[in-house]
Chains A and B, each alone.
Chain A
Amino acid sequence: MHGLPQAEPTNATIRPGAAARRSPGWRISRRVRIGLASLIGTFALWWLLTDITGVIGPHRFPAPAEFWAAFVQIAIDGYAGGTLITQAWYSTRLVIMGFLVAIATGVPLGLLMGVSHRAEALLNPAFLLVRPIPPLAWIPLAIVWLGLGDAAKILVIWFAAFVPSVINTWTGVRGVDRTLIAAARVHGAGELRLLWEVIIPGSLPMMFTGLRLSLQASWTTLVAAELVGAFFGLGRVLDAAYRDINPPMIAVAMLAVGVLGALTTRLVAVAERRLIPWRS
């Protein structure tokens, strides 16, 4: 039935967006069509450059078939000590643990420094020293202290996620509307109620910005830490594939890192929408 001219109200033909919104679901927008074409084109180019013409040799970047074979290999037989699911879960578990420890320490510290000028003044010197050191730079120290196991990874992720959660919580508290605080005070709210019902909800949006940044930093740092030295995990897979000069496996591990990073970021976004429904 598409292609048939339909009797549309005149205003719909004036505004093309309205017509598109009214169209049935299977008629996809221009943006999606071009996007799909672009992805398919990239895929075709990849195939053309590797399999068909061989411009990019197999020792540089894998052909689609090799990529698929590597994916099947790690998914079923495993690679570098575990299947894809085991390795991915291993890394995800570490990110979640480090991230939770960082939230549990960073958010209260940020609240304290935001609420009290005295606490801020007391803690700021130590914080200023730690803040400019990139999380990745903690990796060697963590290995000297705790070795190559889980504890060192969690410590490094904690460092990575701690600083953004402190800073954003702190900024969020300072950004709470002063009038709201004064109003709550006038109506007789005690300090604890003020904190729980005005300051924390008011700083939640900034806190979540911090959490999203923390999560990204956690993934980057974990991958780096596992590349420097680890027994399991996706970074370990990357490292092993690099040492074996196995480009298909490198590509599979990179894809897994990207997918997991995107999924966990989405998870934080969902939590954000649940917890802060008033911020659209």
Chain B
Amino acid sequence: MAFMTIADRAPHPRELMLLSVAGAVLFFGGWQLLAMSGAVSPQTLPSPIAVIGTAWQLAFEPFAGHTLLQHIVASLGRFAMGFGLAAAIGVPLGLAMGRFRLLDDIVSPIFEALRFIAPLAWVPFAALWFGTGIGGPVMVIFAGAFPPCLINAYRGAKLVEVRLVEAAQTLGAGGFRIMAEVLLPGALPSIVAGLRVSAGLAWQSLVGAELIVASAGIGYVMVQAQSNLAPAIVMAGMLSVGVIGLAIDVALRRAERLVKSRWGQA
């Protein structure tokens, strides 16, 4: 078992680079060959080149009512609304729960009871209450994004030293000022970490909500392509979902690092 080298030094970086390239070539080459060989019909597995070509084509030709870019903009708009709403309610509520025990004792049991309901299970009520246009999907995104916002703000507030809060109180700061000027900066690293988790969940919930009820957006493109039996378009949709999700994650990771270096204690 000579390939197990865990405790030893990593192999030469150049060797690892070559292996990575080989891995990528094997993966994409194998996929391309499999698709070209005719063993699997393009109705089942389109080649990677066909998928990228389809994505490029969709960027200019409308499918399911709009071009791919317009669908992406529609999805991003809903994402921003749902995520923004979750952060705007979850973070202050979490901080307040960390500060006031009574609020914590009141809200926690309700929150715990609702937390285990999968965000997507809210879809029927969301559609019933807010329609299938913008409101319904936004509510589903909210359901997905809310818990990490609240939990991390709460944990962050609990981590702030009691001495600091008491010092601010002694110096005459009111409840709101303590929250805004002591708890918020102290909890910021934890909050930003929560926002990153929450953005990932929000993006997933968005795709799910659009698969089930929507009239535009990437999820809608994918579900339309599914009923047209067009796997190339489905995969082009998956590709854009993956790329945008990755971009959101990278942006928030950067924000997290910035905040940690500025306000983080550890």
Contacts and interface: CB of A to CB of B under 8 A. Distances in A.
Interface stretch (A7-15, A30-38, A75-83): A30-38
Q: Which of B22, B113, B116 has the most CB of A within 10 A?
A: B116
Nearest to A33: B105
A261 B121 CA distance: 12
Nearest to B102: A34
Contacts of A194: 4
Interface string A229-259: 0000001001101100101001101110111
Given A38-B106, A38-B107, A118-B11, A195 B4 contact: yes
Contacts of A224: 118, 120, 208, 211-212
A23 B96 CA distance: 31
Given A133-B241, A141-B231, A192-B1, A238 B121 contact: yes
Interface in A172-191: 173, 176, 178, 181-182, 185, 191
A246 to B, nearest CB: 9
B5 A135 contact: no
A279 interface: no
B139 interface: no
A117 B5 contact: yes
B7 A137 contact: no
Contacts of B222: 137, 140
Given A35-B109, A223-B121, A134 B114 contact: no
Interface string B13-32: 00111011011101100000
Contact of A223 (B3, B19, B118): B118
A227 B120 contact: yes
A140 B6 contact: no
Given A38-B110, A132-B249, A257-B117, A140 B1 contact: no
Nearest to B43: A144
A144 B229 contact: yes
Q: Which of B102, B123, B235 has the most CB of A within 10 A?
A: B123
A124 B27 CA distance: 10
B116 A259 contact: yes
Contacts of B110: 38-39, 42
A191 B4 CA distance: 7
Q: Is the interface of B mostly helix, strand, loop or mixed?
A: helix
Interface residues of B, number: 64
Contact of A121 (B7, B16, B128): B16
B226 A39 contact: no
Contact of B119 (A38, A144, A220): A220
Contacts of A107: none
Contacts of A191: 1, 4
B220 to A, nearest CB: 10
B157 interface: no
26 contacts: A38-B105, A116-B4, A118-B5, A118-B11, A121-B15, A121-B19, A122-B26, A125-B23, A129-B27, A132-B242, A133-B241, A134-B204, A138-B238, A140-B223, A140-B225, A140-B226, A143-B226, A173-B6, A176-B6, A185-B7, A227-B212, A238-B121, A250-B125, A251-B125, A258-B118, A261-B116
Interface of B: 1, 3-7, 10-11, 15-17, 19-20, 22-24, 26-27, 44, 102, 105-110, 113-114, 116-125, 127-129, 203-204, 207-208, 211-212, 219, 222-223, 225-226, 229, 231, 234-235, 237-238, 241-243, 245-246, 249
Given A35-B105, A227-B211, A250-B124, 6 more contacts: A34-B106, A116-B3, A117-B11, A141-B238, A242-B123, A257-B121
Closest 8 CB pairs of A and B: A242-B124, A140-B226, A125-B24, A34-B105, A121-B19, A258-B117, A134-B204, A181-B7
